[in-house]
Amino acid sequence: MPKIPDLFATLRAENRKALMPFVTAGDPDLEFTAAVLKEVVSRGASLCEVGIPYSDPIADGPVIQASYTRALNNKIKLARIFDTLADTCPALEAPAVTMVSYAIIYRHGIEKYCADVAERGVAGLIVPDLPVDESPTLAKVCEAAGLSLIQLVTPTTPRDRALRICETSTGFVYYVSVAGITGERTQLPADLVDNVGWLREQTDLPLCIGFGISKPEHVRLLAPEADGLIVGSAVVKRVAEAADKPRDEVLASVGDYVAELIAALEE
């Protein structure tokens, strides 16, 4: 499986951009999580983000919060998620990263968590509740394990702090498009393109934009400014339909949606 820096080097050489769908581990169950990961990659997704369910999610809106609640109500366990990652990630033709609370990493053991996910084919970590001031320890462990540590910059991040975040991130920088929580939006902030443009001048790391992206027109607007786009709530909402509809139908719906966004990305 290609590592994240290698992936973006290839994409840049080919003048292509990445689409990164988000999937909640264990919603509605881990078997379907694995199926969704395989489906979105087969439709052209360049990376996958796997959310580790947590009872107090950070910055997640109602759609993703509800998916975490469903997974936790089904008694999802970290060990079973690791088993699914081990069975799925090495065969994917795209890197996968975990979106995970630092509380989960700390409770599991920093070195053990990094070793466990690396052994199972995971390429990196996104840790939304880890302040940049407290990231050096995890950054060193990730580096030793061959993992990227992807950190987040938001519209309200002071510029001096954004520079520090870029200096300590590896793989790519996750730019949060809005000051708020995840969720589909009809419009994105008017200053988003300018903010990303400023950040582009400060770092050579790839920039991936997330939060609120759900429509082809969002993709067309942001593709010239970003190296990748992250789509979460709109994917999770479609996956949730597996509770009431045939799973093959839901899987096709998710795949068609991802393919539609990738088509817009390549226009």
Question: Catalytic one among 49, 116, 225, 227?
Answer: 49
Q: Classify strands 48-51 and 18-24 as parallel, antiparallel or unpaired.
A: parallel
Q: Detail the DSSP E strand segments found in the chain.
A: 18-24, 48-51, 96-99, 124-126, 148-150, 152-153, 173-176, 207-210, 228-231
Report helix, strand and coil shares of the chain as percent, to nearest 5: 50, 15, 35
Read off the amino acid at residue 147: L
Q: Which amino acid is at 140?
A: K
Asked about 49 being catalytic, the answer comes back as yes
Q: How far apart are CA 80 and CA 85, in angstroms?
A: 9
d(CA 80, CA 96): 17
* 85/25 Cα distance (integer angstroms): 9
28 upstream amide cis, omega within 30 of 0? yes
At 94, give phi and psi (nearest 5°): -165, 145
Q: Which member of 29, 60, 116, 225 is catalytic?
A: 60
CA distance 202 to 175: 13
The span from the CA of 2 to the CA of 144, in Å, is 17
> H-helix or E-strand containing 6?
helix 4-13
- The catalytic residue positions are 49, 60
